[in-house]
């Protein structure tokens, strides 16, 4: 069981979605807490050290004999913060973990290695460049932290992010790369993308620069999903697209990134050319889908030249020439036009 899988197990328990075997395992840990009368909860500064020790010992816990039932209050009735603190203490007591917190040496990038887990915190005002054991590179923004198994071994390359980071993942179709945040799970086989999910933020976002990315809400995520085999409730993103998860609505939506970049340069100077040709060139240049009524615009021509304007400004200028307007839906641009107001094509 990996750290992210453990987080999901606890969340499923709180949501009443565990299997009988999983429920018995969680309650066994809770019973150990009930047997520890008079023991105070861990101080905040000790929690990370204990948590790291827990992840290293999880395989042994699966083989531990079940404790006799002794529950005075069902843990699902506890507030979430109480359960998290209790879970940490339960594991610590069951494993005999020492509560003494030892600060490991801090490297030049602010990384703190604690045996099999490595944590990087960016406490500076500049972005920090990190290279992971698999060759992937991460640009970690100020106030953000990244945690991962030191060797990134196993069938999946899993990292945990709080804050914002840009990932350039080395390609390996046999070993998917998963980024876990508080709200979403992002899976890639090898590409570059940006993830933003701060601890107290109201939304999370994943924006793609190149390649293909699979994004799901973290709750009930299918961890075996990939961009080639996406989850039914997830999204597959292409360059210039982003997924935004709203904490208020609990919904994941696909949108264009705020500033789409040119992916495939095209000639964008037109002299009395069909409007459909202009729209096709913009689609190819930015890798976007532009929806319009082909019959209404079939006979329209336009003379227009685009330079360094952002994509949506280009679309706005074209719409002004046509007496039309545009709207955005998911990651598509929709042109609304009542018909050609210019000279028909010759």
pLDDT for res 153: 84
Q: What share of the chain is helix, strand, coil (3-state, %, to 5)?
A: 25, 30, 45
My answer on whether 134 and 240 are in the same domain is yes
Same domain, 250 and 120: yes
Any residues with CB less than 8 A from the CB of 333 and at least 6 apart, and which? 256, 288, 289, 290, 291, 312, 315, 326, 327
Domain final residue, candidates 221, 256, 291: 256
Instruction: Flag whether 263 is in a domain.
Output: no
Same domain, 133 and 186: yes
Q: Is 213 found in the same domain as 133?
A: yes
d(CA 319, CA 327): 11
What is the token pair recorded at 80? 């979430």
Inform me whether the pLDDT recorded for 120 exceeds 80: yes
Question: Which of 92, 7, 81, 3 has the alpha carbon at shortest distance from 42?
Answer: 92
What's the rounded Cα separation, in Å, for the pair 185 and 298?
A: 43
218-258 pLDDT, tens digit each = 988 999 988 988 898 899 999 999 999 998 898 999 999 99
- Last residue of one domain, picked from the residues 65, 95, 125: 95
Tell me what pLDDT residue 339 has: 76
Let me know whether 126 and 217 are in one domain: yes
Name the band, by pLDDT with cuts 50, 70 and 90, for residue 179: very high
Write the CATH number for 169.
2.60.120.1440
Is the same domain home to 235 and 316?
no
Please check whether residue 102 lies inside any domain of the structure. Answer: no
- pLDDT at site 340: 75
Within this chain, do residues 315 and 199 fall inside the same structural domain, yes or no? no
- Residues with Cβ < 8 Å from 100, sequence gap 6 or more? 46
Residue by residue, what is the 3-state secondary structure of 45-57? HHHHHHHHHHHHH
- The per-residue pLDDT for 291 is 96
Range of the domain at 193: 111-256
Tokens of 194: 């940006």
Inside any domain, residue 105 = no
Query: Average model confidence (pLDDT) for the chain?
Result: 77
Which pLDDT value is given to residue 32? 55
DSSP state of 326: E
Q: What is the model's pLDDT at position 111?
A: 42
Given a contact cutoff of 8 angstroms between Cβ atoms, the answer to whether 145 and 162 are in contact is yes
CATH number for the domain spanning 291: value is 3.55.50.30
Which conformational region is residue 240 in: left (phi greater than 0), alpha (psi within -120 to 50 degrees), or beta? left
Interval 23-79: pLDDT, tens: 777 666 655 543 444 333 444 444 454 444 444 444 444 344 444 444 444 444 444
Who's near 124: CB < 8 A, 6+ residues apart? 110, 142
251/284 same-domain check = no
Length of the chain: 346
Q: Are residues 39 and 60 in the same domain?
A: yes
Mean pLDDT of 165-182: 94
Q: What is the pLDDT of residue 299?
A: 84
Higher pLDDT, 151 or 77: 151
Mark whether 88 and 146 lie in a shared domain: no
Model confidence, pTM: 0.67
- Tell how strand 177-180 and strand 269-274 pair up: unpaired
* DSSP string across 137-150: EEEEPTT-EEEEET
The pLDDT score that the predictor gives to residue 312 is 96
Residues 191 and 75 in one domain: no
Pick from 313, 317, 318, 321: nearest CA to 343:
321
The lowest-confidence range among 18-32, 77-91, 160-174, 300-314 is 77-91
C-alpha pair distances (Å), 332 with each of 240, 242, 254, 276, 283: 11, 12, 9, 16, 10
How many domains are contained in the chain? 3
R_g of the chain, CA atoms, integer Å:
26
CA–CA distance, 178 with 161 (Å, rounded to integer): 10
Percentage of the chain with pLDDT > 90? 52
Three-state secondary structure of 330-343: CCEEEEECCCCCCC
Task: State residue 66's pLDDT score.
Answer: 41
Same domain, 128 and 252: yes
So what's the pLDDT on residue 99? 30
Residue 261 within any structural domain of the chain: no
Q: What local confidence, expressed as pLDDT, does residue 1 receive?
A: 56
pLDDT score of 21: 75
20-29, 130-139, 295-304, 309-318: segment of lowest average pLDDT: 20-29
**Which sign does the torsion angle of CA 211, 217, 222, 224 carry?**
positive
Tokens of 307: 């330079």
Which residue, 30, 61, 95, sits at the end of a domain? Answer: 95
Contact in structure between 211 and 188 (CB atoms under 8 Å): yes
Structure tokens of 269?
């100077």
């Amino acid at each position: 069981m990996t750290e992210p899988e453990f987080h999901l197990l606890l969340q499923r328990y709180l949501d009443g979605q565990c299997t009988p075997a999983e429920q018995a395992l969680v309650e066994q840990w809770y019973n150990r807490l009930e047997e520890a009368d008079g023991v105070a909860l861990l101080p905040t500064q000790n929690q990370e050290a204990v948590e790291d020790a827990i992840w290293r010992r999880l395989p042994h816990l699966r083989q531990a004999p079940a404790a006799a039932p002794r529950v005075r209050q069902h843990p699902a009735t506890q507030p979430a913060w109480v359960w998290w603190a209790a879970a940490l203490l339960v594991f610590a007591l069951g494993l005999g973990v020492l509560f003494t917190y030892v600060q490991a040496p801090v490297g030049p990038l602010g990384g703190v290695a604690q045996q099999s887990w490595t944590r990087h915190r960016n406490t500076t005002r500049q972005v920090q460049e990190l290279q992971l054991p698999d060759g992937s590179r991460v640009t970690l923004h100020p106030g953000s932290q990244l945690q991962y198994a030191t060797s990134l071994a196993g069938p999946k390359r899993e990292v945990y992010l709080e804050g914002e980071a840009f990932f350039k993942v080395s390609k390996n179709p046999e070993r998917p790369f998963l980024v876990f945040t508080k709200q979403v799970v992002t899976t890639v086989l090898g590409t570059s993308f940006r993830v933003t999910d701060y601890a107290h933020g109201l939304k999370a976002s994943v924006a793609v620069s190149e390649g293909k990315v699979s994004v799901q809400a973290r709750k009930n995520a299918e961890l075996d999903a990939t961009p080639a085999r996406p989850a039914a409730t997830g999204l597959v993103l292409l360059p210039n697209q982003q997924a935004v998860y709203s904490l208020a609505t609990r919904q994941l939506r696909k949108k264009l990134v705020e500033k789409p970049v040119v992916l495939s340069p095209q000639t964008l100077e037109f002299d009395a050319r069909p409007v459909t040709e202009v729209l096709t060139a913009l689609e190819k240049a930015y890798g976007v889908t532009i929806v319009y009524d082909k019959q209404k615009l079939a006979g329209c021509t336009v003379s227009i030249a685009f330079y360094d304007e952002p994509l949506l400004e280009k679309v706005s200028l074209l719409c002004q020439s046509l007496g039309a307007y545009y709207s955005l839906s998911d990651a598509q641009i929709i042109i609304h036009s009542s018909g050609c107001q210019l000279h028909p094509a010759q």
